[in-house]
Amino acid sequence: MPNLEDEIPDTKNSVEVDSYSGGTDAEDIDKLSAIEDFFNKVVKDKNYWNAGGRLLVNKVRKELQTTSFNLSNLDQNLIREIANLGSVKEKDGLAGVITTFKLTATATPIITLVDRALKRKNTNKAPNGYRAWQNKTKRGFDYRKTAEEKWGKLDSKSKYKPDQKVISKLWQQHLWN
């Protein structure tokens, strides 16, 4: 009796991932080589950052959602797990090979993925040289200097708290003052 699995043609599929399996977080998604490459590009490209080093999260999200990522064979099992598609060998699993995928994400995973890319690059700075920060979530990264780092020990009359983040001024702002 012939095995029916051997007679099914190998098909190629594209997947859009907008809901993830339980327990999936940004670290799991970052294991996909195409996602790692995308966020490595984000931390090097000035277009995704404002002049003061702030991440433009909405711009990154828009680019992420319109990009169709090519998937390597090594990432097949991981994307199937993330998208709840089942293993190739499972009876209920999607047949064929997934070649491309699109990803939908909120601000929090995007910020986490950018932070991981900054750490891979071993830096805390945006491409324009200012310290990287974001203002979309409280849990996200903020590498700006604190008041104490910037001015040293502060007295009680200071308008700044020692651990308060200080926004770096651009050279033009110094001229306007």
Rounded to 5 degrees, φ, ψ at 165 are -75, 140
User: What's the pLDDT at 71?
Assistant: 82
Please, which residues have CB within 8 angstroms of residue 102's CB and are 6 or more apart in sequence? 14, 15, 16, 17, 65, 67, 68, 69
Residues (pLDDT < 70) of the chain are 1-24, 85-96, 146-152, 154-177
DSSP 146: B
Q: What is the pLDDT of residue 112?
A: 93
The predicted pLDDT at position 144 comes to 80
CA 116, CA 55: separation in Å to the nearest integer? 14
> What is the pLDDT at residue 4?
44
Residue 8, pLDDT score: 45
Reported as a single tens digit per residue, the pLDDT across 104-115 is: 888 999 999 999
Query: Residue 76 — φ and ψ, nearest 5°?
Result: -55, -50
Using alpha carbons only, give the angle 169, 125, 170 rounded to the nearest 5 degrees: 15
Sign of the alpha-carbon torsion through 36, 27, 109, 19: positive
pLDDT at 67: 92
Q: Are 25 and 116 in contact (CB under 8 A)?
A: no
pLDDT for 165: 65
Which residue has tokens 């003061």? 52
Global confidence as pTM = 0.74
Nearest CA to 75 out of 109, 51, 103 is that of: 103
